[in-house]
Structure 1
Amino acid sequence: MDSDQADESTLGWLIWLCSDALAQFLESLPPFFSAPAHSPSDIDDISDEELLRRFREGSKFKFPSTAIGTNNVSRVTEHTVMKSGQDFEEDIDYPSEALVLQLVAEQTSIPVPRVRRLLKAKDGTPYMALEHIPGHQLSFVWPTLSWFGRIRIAFKMHSYIRQLRKIRHPRSSIPGPMGIPGEGGRICPSPLWGLFDRRGPFATYADLTYFFNERLARLLKSERKQPPSLETLTTFDDTQPLVLTHQDLNPRNFIVGDDGHLWLVDWAWAGFYPPWFEYVTMRWQARNEEDVIGKKNPEWDAIIPFVCGRFFEHWRWIARISKALNWT
């Protein structure tokens, strides 16, 4: 019995159902800790030009020596970091990540950095000035945690995903990154796409469904199997509404704050997708993390179904068509 089959056992289902019920109960209780401690803005008197200079040239303010994966982020002051918008369209005034951070801050209790300023370089590249979160990445803290500490983190992450899936917004009907009112779909970045890290834009949920079903049809044709017509091909699961997904849940993007809270950062790939996208992308990112650090993290792998939901069939389906997702 492989690991997926073991996960799908009756005992596994019972454990998951009991854990999910406990998580919902814990969410209903008053918080044990105070709200996240946001630092005051310290860039109000600094010009855009000076912030961009510090971003390019660096400043005396550094990240902790244990920090990894911060190559596209610069700490420009003690309490502020800057990063470029990672949208793929030209002439973007409102980076999707900034819009998502504002939405999450308004509609959930998930601790996320505050957006302090949006600015543009002379070449039109958008940048965001964000609140710096004092603390350490979960990738550094995780190996030091007891089993109880890791379970506590898993319950907290489970709560975050539940809250994200409750968000309702006018963009919820358009697959992909956040946009401003009246704007069409945006190009969709995701680790799920394989070698192509972006696809779309998709104007509707039906367009996203068609893309995946068309890929399956092409794959079957390449294998000399008779593909069913796209009108009857319904293997892509679009039975649940689009929900806000982070798509990059890995230990580097959780900050164990000095204030005791678990912060979630780096929302560049966030957008509205089927709920099972979160599970699939979290598993993909776990594999990538193992390749980067050169060792496995079975405890992290074990919490993924609890955090995101038990979407084992969806994982196998994406793995089945992964070759076709790499085609132009």
Structure 2
Amino acid sequence: MNIHPPPFTPIQYIPPTSKPTILTTPITHLLITAHEPLPRGGNHWTIYIPNASTPTNTPPNTNPNANTTTEFTSIQIDMTPSYTTPPPNPGMKGSKGILVISTVPYIFPPRATKSFWVDIRCGYTVGDFVELLVEEGREKKLESPDGRYSPTQGASQLQHFPLSGNDICFLPDDTLIKAFQASPVIYDRGLERIVRVSEKLVIKGGRRTQPGEACILRVIAEAGERNEAYRIRMPRVYRITKVELDEYSGEWKCLILMDYIAGKTVEECWESLTPDKRTDVINQVASMMNTLQSIPVPQADQDMPGPMGHPRTPAHGGVFSLARVGPFASIRQLQEWFNGNRGILNECHKFHSQKLVLTHQKVLPRNLTLDEEGKVWLTNWSDSGLYPKGLTMWQLNRWSGLV
């Protein structure tokens, strides 16, 4: 007689009939709790979602039930090994984990050893949190090797955004600076960091975040408002603050408040795109490059190559990654620098003066975001500026391999 085990169910609600009630329960904060140490080291971590009547100032390392007659309940999100379904990686020990979601008559179990609160932005429910956990099949990848398991993946994505619901036009600069220091980081490459401060906004900062980036984005946005033909899908700049000299590089840096662009980078999703969609992405990028170079350059900047705005800063990115170069006072200075460094650049042709055009200078898959509608957005303008069209094409060909 062949007995087949039941199919693996990665998420279970206890009791099953409570699922609708659990999923619609609002979340104001989470309690991340470590239980007693495991025999092989580490801790078993569990998430508790207290009911709305739980005081937010309840100490996380004490049990409120022990000192009050108020009935506290919570929804527990826990992991337990399946014991029957092996992990997807043959080299791993243990078994796939099951996400167990249930209602319990307490918040702090007796075996809890450490806890801390995580505030959640308004409007979220348990269903939203579970959706984060299972996004892209993530629940199918949760495993319990060696008895160590945790459902805390995704908790950080529900962190409160400090500027949610605020009118950004009237926020003082100090508030933006504090938000940059305290908000969830979504991008960090050492010299540049981006944090998400609300559902629709981010703040970009770091030693390589300079006023010229905000300046060129504003020039392009204003051109698009005057003429629909000049519109480019890119982040919109709302505020720039904390403009100061960097003590290490001696260059200007700042914080920029701009749009959050939702989607996946082309670098992340390229392998999953169909040939037709790949062609469409390439055509969209080429169209944006042509549009960018057709936007009229402000009169005051027509003979000033390099990053836009004032104060002027050295050129960055592409061919200028080899050394600190500039600021250039004229196209002629740029021409002299380029022709004097042809040996280093491995370039046999001389550069001849051309009119300046707006350029991005870092058209790479990681800086192209594909939204839900299949539209490509051009992000990360940190190396942008005014450069001759011929030099821009040379850089794309030599550095990006996109031409």
Give the structure-1-normalised TM-score: 0.59
* 1:288-322 Cα deviation digits (max 9, x unpaired): xxxxxxxxxxxxx4xx22xxxxxxxxxxxxxxxxx
Aligned equivalents of 1:102, 1:85: Cα separation in 2: 20
Distance 1:162 1:87 in 2: 26
Q: Which has the larger radius of gyration?
A: 2
What is the correspondence of 1:169-318 to structure 2 with a 5 Å cutoff?
A: 169=297, 170=299, 171-180=301-310, 186-196=313-323, 198-216=324-342, 235-283=349-397, 285-286=399-400, 301=401, 304-305=402-403
| Structure 1, unaligned runs of 5 or more | 1-39, 221-233, 287-300, 306-328
**Aligned residue among 65, 78, 99 for 2:215:** 99
Q: How many residues align?
A: 224
In structure 2, C-alpha distance between the alignment counterparts of 1:72 and 1:262, rounded to whole Å? 22
Note if contact 1:110-1:160 (Cα within 8 Å) is conserved in structure 2. Answer: yes
CA distance in 2 between partners of 1:55 and 1:240 (Å): 40
Answering whether residue 234 of structure 2 is matched by residue 112 of structure 1, we say yes
| Structure with greater proportional helix content | 1
Q: d(CA) in 2 for partners of 1:176 and 1:218?
A: 20
Note the alpha carbon deviations across 1:208-261, whole angstroms, 9 max, x for none.
Answer: 1111222348999xxxxxxxxxxxxx9422253221111100011111123542
| Structure 1 Cα separation of the partners of residues 340 and 245 of structure 2 | 38
Structure 2 counterpart of 1:51, which letter? L
CA deviation profile, 1:160-200 (whole Å, cap 9, x unmatched): 111111122221321111125xx7x531112313432x301
Which residue does 1:82 correspond to in 2? 203
Matches within 5 A, 1:17-96: 43-44=168-169, 46-56=171-181, 58-59=182-183, 61=184, 63=186, 69=189, 72-84=193-205, 95-96=211-212
Give me the CA root mean square deviation. Answer: 3.3
Would the aligned equivalents of 2:339 and 2:351 in 1 still touch at CA under 8 Å? no
Structure 1 vs Structure 2: percent identity of aligned residues? 29
CA 1:128–1:260 in structure 2 vs 1: closer, same or farther (change >3 Å)?
A: same
Alignment partner of 2:276 out of 142, 145, 148:
148
Give the deviation of 1:104 after TM superposition: 1.5
Take 1:174 and 1:235, find their aligned partners in 2: how far apart are those partners?
23
Counterpart in the other structure of 2:255: 127
**Which amino acid is 2:232 matched to?**
I
Q: Is the 8 A contact 2:338 2:351 kept in 1?
A: no
Q: What is the deviation of 1:117? A: 0.8
In 2, are the aligned partners of 1:238 and 1:274 still within 8 Å (CA)? no
Gaps of at least 5 residues in structure 2 are 1-164, 224-229, 247-252
Aligned with 1:188: secondary structure?
coil
8 Å CA contact 2:357, 2:388 repeated in 1: yes
Partner of 1:320: none
Counterpart for residue 30 of structure 1: none
Query: 1:218 and 1:195 mapped to 2: Cα distance?
Result: 9
CA contact (8 A) 1:115 1:129 kept: yes
C-alpha distance in structure 2 between counterparts of 1:254 and 1:219, whole Å: 27
Kept after mapping to 1: 8 A contact 2:185/2:193: no
Return the alpha-carbon distance in structure 2 between the equivalents of residues 86 and 259 of structure 1.
Answer: 34
Aligned twin of 2:89: none
Structure 1 position 161 matched with structure 2 position 161 = no
CA displacement at 1:148 relative to structure 2: 0.7
RCO greater where, 1 or 2, for CA within 8 Å and sep 6 or more? Answer: 1
Deviations 1:9-60 (A, max 9, x none): xxxxxxxxxxxxxxxxxxxxxxxxxxxxxxx98534543222212212x32x
Asked if 1 retains the 8 angstrom alpha-carbon contact of 2:244 and 2:254, the reply is: no
SS in 2 for 1:149: helix
> Is contact 1:254-1:265 (8 Å) kept?
yes
SS in 1 for 2:333: helix
CA distance in structure 2 between the partners assigned to 1:68 and 1:148 by the alignment: 32
Native 8 Å contact 2:305 2:356 kept in 1: yes
**Cα separation, partners in 2 of 1:214 and 1:115, compared to 1, 3 Å:** same
The Cα shift of 1:85 comes to 6.6
Partners of 2:200 and 2:215 in 1: how far apart?
21
Contact 1:68 1:252 in 2 (8 A): no
Find the aligned partners of 1:101 and 1:72 in 2 and give their Cα distance: 18
In the TM superposition, what whole-angstrom CA distance separates every residue of 1:79-134 from its partner, at most 9, and x where no partner exists?
A: 1111127569xxx8xx1011100111222211111111111178885211111111
Query: Secondary structure at the residue paired with 1:173?
Result: coil
